[in-house]
Structure 1
Amino acid sequence: MEVRWFVCNLLLWSLLAVQVCSCPDACSKCSVPGSDDCEECRPGWSLHNYTCVDIDECGVELDNCQLDSYCLNTQGSFECRDCDVACVGCMGSGPARCKKCAPGYRLTGSKCLDIDECSDLVLACHGLDEICANTKGSFRCDCADGFVRNNGACVKRQLPGVQEKGLFEDIQEDELEVLQQMFFGVVLCALATLAAKGDLVYTSVFIGAAAAMAGYWLSEKGDRLMNSFLKGR
């Protein structure tokens, strides 16, 4: 027990001695071991009245930060941090510390804020099937729904196995009948006009066409009446 007590006390006194004899962190040499009076300071510190004071590298312009970064002072040193994306050169963090606004940004009040090109420009996107989408510092032109970009232009998306329909493929049967009657009517009017001039050839053609039209109409009506009669039985 006495040996263990002696070892424990020895370790405790050793730790206390190290703490008492150590200098402040900023000091590289103390006047008296355990004293706060410094004779020499570590790099990044300056001796003032036996006290090591932090050097503001940003204030004395000793930093080597690039144009797109700013200096941030730390204890005994400094850091270079990136400027805000809205800035070209800056004096600190955020869009309010810019030296100049980056392209796509505008000075609004005291801050460089994003320009909404979709609202400012009359025709930001030139294509008729394009939609303007604002982004940070710029914008993009997206194709409208149902369109895809092909060779720089928005074209209608084609579904697999689906082809474009012809001009008359969607016409119903009754609509086709109306078109046929209109066509025959135009032809008869043209023949009637020529027949009125006394030309026997056009007159005979007109009479034949009129008879054919009447026969077609009567036969069509007759077929419909017969079908209706049979269905009603």
Structure 2
Amino acid sequence: MKKLEGLIFDLDGTLADTLPHCLKSFQLTFEQVTGREFSDNEITKYFGLSEEGIIKKVLPDKYDECLNTFLEIYENNHHPYSKLFDGIIEILEYAKNKGIKLAMVTGKGRGSADITLKYLNIGHYFEFVEIGSSEGLIKSEGIKRILSNWQIKKENVAYVGDAITDITESRDAGISPIAVSWASTTDHSSLITHNPDKIFSKTEDFMCWLNSIN
């Protein structure tokens, strides 16, 4: 990539250390509604879907109760258990000051995405925020909508994410996949096997790359 005009970010595990809080909020929700504990795998196997989609998979007959309970638990416990990764604000500020367009495409539903953006106070950095679906992965569609609005060349845009699906979805949309593994929840070696254009395990290294390319 010779020129970078647009950066599109994932949220959970990329900008913010929120995945453990997401998992715990689901577990507390389902236990409160059913009276039994749920294992990590019973929930994480559906990660990639929005909260609505995960609830439909796990407890479809208790959907409304679970969704309301989840959003309440997620918001009430957000501040102590979720935070931006060190260096993220510096990255966003640098990109903004360089005139790089910024957007977000997340798998989260609107409710939890709005909560996280509010409590972490980063929503103002992003021109567009595309949310996830209860039916399946739609990140490539969200990326394409942003590209259509931006009217800039695909080869000058990158998607930054922490999951294998982030690599495949950005490739499907025709832009450069940048993998990051600075979250403790991310498997660095599995990302490498899917050949992202770049991979970074530290925010400092990502910042150095930004400096070198623009």
- Whether these two folds match at TM > 0.5 is no
Please indicate the TM-score interval, normalised by the length of the shorter structure.
under 0.3
Q: Give the greater-gyration-radius structure (CA).
A: 1
Write 1 or 2 for the structure with the bigger share of helix: 2
- TM-score normalised by structure 2 residue count: 0.19
Write 1 or 2 for the structure with the bigger share of strand: 1
- TM-score normalised by structure 1 residue count: 0.18
